[in-house]
Amino acid sequence: MSRVGHGLPMLAGMSRAELEQWAQEQGEPVFRGRQLADWVFHRLELDPRQMTNLPHSLRELAATVLVAPAGRVTAVDAAEDGTEKLLVRLADGQSVEMVLIPAEARMTFCLSTQVGCPVRCRFCASGAEGLVRNLQAGEIIEELVFGARRIGRLPDNVVFMGIGEGLLNLEELLRAIESMVSPDGFGMSPRRLTVSTSGIVPGIRRLAEFGRELTLAVSLHAVNDELRARLIPDGFRYPVCEILAAVDEYRERAGRMVTLEYTLLDGVNDSPADARELARISREHHAKINLIPYNATDTAFRRPPRRVLETFFRTVEQCGGRVTMRQERGSSRTAACGQLRRRHAAGSEDVLSGGE
């Protein structure tokens, strides 16, 4: 159970069974817990005072002893293409970002799993300051609910590709995922949830054991260890061969083809030889390659020219790799992950509250 502040439980972090037990501990019948759960999971309501079919006394009690909600949306940055980036301020004053991405009548939410990130990839704004703290499951769920209230429904897809390395906060991430996919929770299809990782091998193996048909995206970014060492510091970097072995294990156990994410950096990992090697990896490990043209931040890396991007794509394709190039979304000035948070790090006026 997620707890914030003075150790009070977070409503968003409680399962249906925990809410039923909580109701009974307050001397209420078990169905009151079910009603609470229905408000959260079906009606996307986190404020007990709005749960009109509960007795007034229980609403007041729940509003007092359960933290609901713990966070709030304090800034929104909208791009011309409809993408919206939300800044979520947490109970302790820290903040994370989430992104709402509309595409072809589908809505994808990109959620954060940590405040900051311990991996500190050298091309990433989110990792620049290292890890501040892990998010609790309830805080991850609140991101989902804040976004869902904004569009009036649950998203079609969720990708855990915001700030943080989810597989280094695995137990809380798995709790949040269980709540999202459980028929007793939000009831989303596990196939519509994508867990992204920078290649944390023990985490990939644990995810394979978890037994849900989640989509897995592994950020490879380089085809050999020497090049990868230039992009990802030592602390949490695993050898490419171990990552690919874990990818094979995940594909076999979860029955899901894995996507290898590859951020293209000018003059670093964008040569024809890199493309041919990437195609070989795709073929031998039955993996999809998703090319991501670098979205420049204030790092030393640059995005390759358009003709280099096109040549790289064609080379992977012609060498038998399954390849896509990520469509760019949210190309406003704060599009790169971590930038909205950094811009508002010194505090900001609330423009929205309570996930509205």
Instruction: List residues binding ligand SF4 (CB under 6 A).
Output: 117, 119-121, 124, 126-127, 163-165, 198
Separation of CA 253 from chain center: 22
In the complex, the smallest distance separating the C-beta of residue 88 from ligand SF4, rounded to whole angstroms, is: 16
- Is the Cβ of residue 142 or residue 165 nearer to ligand SF4 in the bound state? 165
CB of 124 to ligand SF4, least distance (A): 3
Residue placing its CB nearer to ligand SF4 in the complex, 120 or 175: 120
Which residue lies nearer to ligand SF4 by CB, 19 or 231? 231
60 is catalytic: no
196 vs 217: CA distance, rounded Å: 5
Nearest-CB residue for ligand SF4: 127
Please pick, among 110, 117, 121, 337, the residue that the annotation labels catalytic. 337
Give the Cα-Cα-Cα angle 2, 143, 263 (nearest 5 degrees): 115
Cβ pair 13, 137 in contact under 8 A: yes
Shortest distance in whole angstroms from residue 302 CB to ligand SF4:
17
Please identify which of the residues 28, 97, 139, 143 carries the catalytic annotation: 97
Q: Buried b / exposed e across 259-284, counting CB within 10 Å, b at 16+? A: bbbbbbbbebbbeeebbbbbbebbee
Q: Which of 111, 109, 102 is nearest to 140 (CA)?
A: 111
CB 110 within 8 A of CB 329: no
Q: Provide the 8-state DSSP code for 143.
A: H
Nearer to ligand SF4, 48 or 166 (CB): 166
How far apart are CB 114 and ligand SF4 at their closest, in Å?
8
- Judge contact between 190 and 212, C-beta under 8 A: yes
Q: Which residues of 28-38 are buried (b: 16+ CB within 10 A; e: fewer)?
A: beeebbebbbe
Residue 99 CB partners (closer than 8 Å, separation 6+): 83, 84, 85, 86, 109, 110, 162, 329, 330
Q: Which residues contact 191 (CB under 8 A, 6 or more apart)?
A: 213, 214, 215, 256
Active site residue 97: yes
- Closer CB to ligand SF4, 111 or 121, in the complex: 121
Tell me the closest approach of the beta carbon of residue 85 to ligand SF4, in angstroms. 15
For the annotated catalytic residues, the residue numbers are 97, 337
